[in-house]
Structure 1
Amino acid sequence: MSTEQTTASHGFAYTLTRTLDAPAATVWRAWTDAEQYAQWAGAAAGSVEMDVRPGGAWRATMVTPDGGQFPLTGSYLEVAENRRLVTGMNIPGRSEPAAMVMELDEQDDQHTQIVLHQTCDTAEERDMAEQGSTMLLDSLSTFLTARARD
């Protein structure tokens, strides 16, 4: 996996770009298949549910490094298989879900550029979301590398 990552932060938004050593379809499945997602994203076993279609719901209970757990819920706002996924996350106290955009651009049959973008309400929210997204990309890279060796 390539560890090359670029980060751009503007106002309360961030964009992370990374090149993965996997075809777009493999990256897409890792991100949208509940079983695979649970393996790499730090979710509690059996807690991930995904209805990957516009308006479909998702939920997961994430496990922190210290063993704590917190539930996440949301919906899929836009789905373009193997290319673009816009995910809304429900945040307490917020009237609209926080939207994260994931875009895949297959460079060739073995390399895919992934771009994550999110606009937040505050600098603190942006920093936390960017940190979480960076951790997701690190875990996804590790997962895809291990799968390629199997």
Structure 2
Amino acid sequence: MTEQQGSAKTGFSYSVSARVAAPAARVWEAWTTPEQYVQWFGAKPGSVALDVRPGGAWKATLVFPDGTEFPLTGSYVEVEQPRRLVMSMDVPGAEPGIMVADFADAAEGGEAGTDVTLSQTSPTAEERDQSKQGSEMLLQQLSAYLG
């Protein structure tokens, strides 16, 4: 997994990447099909709704190992199948944000697969660090699911 982080005048940004052992079309399906999304995202069954089109809404309720539920909602800002999703995110206790998910064919090392990069800008360093940790967890779960 690779990462970058920085501080911009408009907020605190990060970018994390991982190579997933699946073609971009398969990664896209995992992100945009509720039945697949619930299997790797850590969402409560029945809580996922994905209207994958610009302006379409999405929602999912994360369930942590201790049983704590964490509702997430947002909308799709940009949809470029199978390469890019830009989503607004409303997270309890945090300012609304934008997450960018890019899916690129693996080009280095002779490995097949897709390089998945998640990027986000947050208003505070603390929110950035929490979001970055969540994105790293998502990449690990996605890799395990598509393994």
**TM-score with structure 2 setting the length:** 0.90
- CA deviation after TM superposition for structure 1 residue 107, in Å: 2.5
1:32 aligns with 2:39: no
Percent of pairs with identical residues:
53
Could you tell me which runs of 5 or more consecutive residues in structure 2 were left unpaired when the two chains were aligned.
none
Q: C-alpha deviations, 1:15-51, integer Å up to 9, x for none?
A: 0011111100000100111110100110001110000
Determine the C-alpha separation between the residues in 1 that align with 2:51 and 2:105: 24
> Partners of 1:93 and 1:62 in 2: how far apart?
15
The yes-or-no answer on 1:68 pairing with 2:68 is: yes
Alpha carbons of 1:44 and 1:91: their partners in 2 closer, same or farther (altered >3 Å)?
Answer: closer
Q: Any idea what SS the aligned residue of 1:54 has? A: coil
CA contact (8 A) 2:72 2:92 kept: no
Q: Distance in 2 between matches of 1:73 and 1:9?
A: 25
Is 1:135 aligned to 2:125, yes or no?
Answer: no
| Equivalence for 1:81 | 81
Query: Structure 1 residues 139, 91: CA separation in 2 closer, same or farther (over 3 Å shift)?
Result: closer
Mark the CA change 1:93 to 1:6 in structure 2 (over 3 Å): closer, same or farther: closer
SS for the counterpart of 2:65 is: coil
User: Per the alignment, in what secondary structure is the counterpart of residue 13 of structure 1?
Assistant: strand
Q: 1:1-150 counterparts in 2 under 5 A?
A: 5-11=1-7, 12-91=12-91, 97-107=96-106, 110-145=112-147
Deviation at 1:94, TM superposition (A): 6.7
Shift of 1:70: 1.7
Q: Which ranges in structure 1 are unaligned for 5 or more consecutive residues?
A: 146-150
Moved over 6 A (4+): none
Say if 1:126 and 1:50 are closer, same or farther in 2 by CA, change over 3 A.
same
What do residues 71-94 of structure 1 show as CA deviations (whole Å, max 9, x unaligned)? 111000000001010010124577
The DSSP-based 3-state class of the residue aligned with 1:52 is coil
Give the aligned residue type for 2:28.
Answer: W
Check the 8 A contact 2:74/2:90 in 1, yes or no. Answer: yes
Aligned residues between the structures: 140
Q: Per-residue CA shift, 1:41-63, capped at 9, x if unaligned? A: 10001110000000000011110
Equivalent-residue separation in structure 2 for 1:118 and 1:61 (angstroms): 20
Distance 1:15 1:120 in 2: 12
TM-score (norm 1): 0.88
Indicate the RMSD between aligned Cα atoms, in angstroms. Answer: 1.7
Distance 1:27 1:132 in 2: 18
